Amino acid sequence: MPAISINHIEKRTTSTGGQRAFIVGTRVRVQDIVADHERHGMSPEQIARDYPHVSQAQVHAALAYYFDHRDEIQRQMLEDERYVDSLNAGSDKDDH
CATH classification of the domain holding 79: 1.10.10.10
Q: Are 23 and 58 in contact (CB under 8 A)?
A: yes
Domain limits for position 28: 9-91
4 in a structural domain: no
Distance CA 51, CA 49 (A): 5
21 in a structural domain: yes
What's the pLDDT at 96?
Answer: 55
What's the pLDDT at 42?
Answer: 97
Q: What is the pLDDT along the chain (96 residues), one digit of tens a residue?
A: 555 556 899 999 988 788 999 999 999 999 999 999 999 999 999 999 999 999 999 999 999 999 999 999 999 999 989 988 988 987 766 555
Half-sphere exposure of 9 (CA within 13 A, CB side): 20
60 in a structural domain: yes
46 in a structural domain: yes
Distance CA 10, CA 2 (A): 23
Q: What is the pTM of this model?
A: 0.82
